[in-house]
Amino acid sequence: MTTTKKIKSWFNFDWLKKSELIELKQVDCSQDPVRPELDIKFRTSYGRKIYGLKHNGEIKAVMCFGFVNEIPTTVEELDLFSKDAYLQATHRAGIQGSIAIAYTVWSLKKGGGKMIVNEVYKMIKKSNHLNRLITLSPLTQMAERFHLKNGARLIQKNETSQNFEYTVSK
């Protein structure tokens, strides 16, 4: 493929209309530019899920979540809080946490990051138990620009992370 065709392919957004949000059981963690050190076991255990934006049989964007009842400021707190919400859910008819914490998002195609945020937002709005969508983002300008540009507001800066909130109105 020539450079011109690659550039046109990267900036063609028609694919977004034909993509779907799906839950994933596996993902190549080494592709994650934000948290590649978190293995698949971490991403799929104790109230955590991975969602992908699929188009033509290929995953174009990925977003990983933990479901919690309080806002974590570190990955270690996310681990503890999602385990706690998971264990509490066994006593409450399977409802795991009221807050969805997005701790990583990446795109393999231009526009995929924004699209997966929008699709997850719609999913959370439709849920019966989730009432907040909050990030556990690294302290980078790229993360800050991405979330502010996509409609989130900064709710706190922590020692090693920052939390942005996407308002969920039902």
Q: What is the pLDDT of residue 154?
A: 97
Q: What is the pLDDT of residue 118?
A: 85
Q: What is the pLDDT of residue 89?
A: 74
Write out the residue range of the structural domain in which residue 92 sits: 3-166
Which CATH number is 98's domain given? 3.40.630.30
Q: What is the pLDDT of residue 90?
A: 67
Q: Which residues of the chain have pLDDT under 50?
A: 3-4, 6-11
Q: What is the pLDDT of residue 114?
A: 85
Q: What is the pLDDT of residues 101-125, one digit of tens each?
A: 999 999 988 888 888 988 888 888 8
Spatial separation of the C-alpha atoms in residues 25 and 84, rounded to whole Å? 21
CA-CA distances (angstroms) from residue 68 to 20, 47, 89, 122, 158? Answer: 25, 8, 10, 19, 18
Residue 62 makes CB contacts below 8 A (sequence gap 6+) with 24, 27, 31, 32, 50, 51, 52, 53, 104, 105, 106, 108, 116
Look at the chain and report how many structural domains it folds into: 1
Strand partners, 87: none
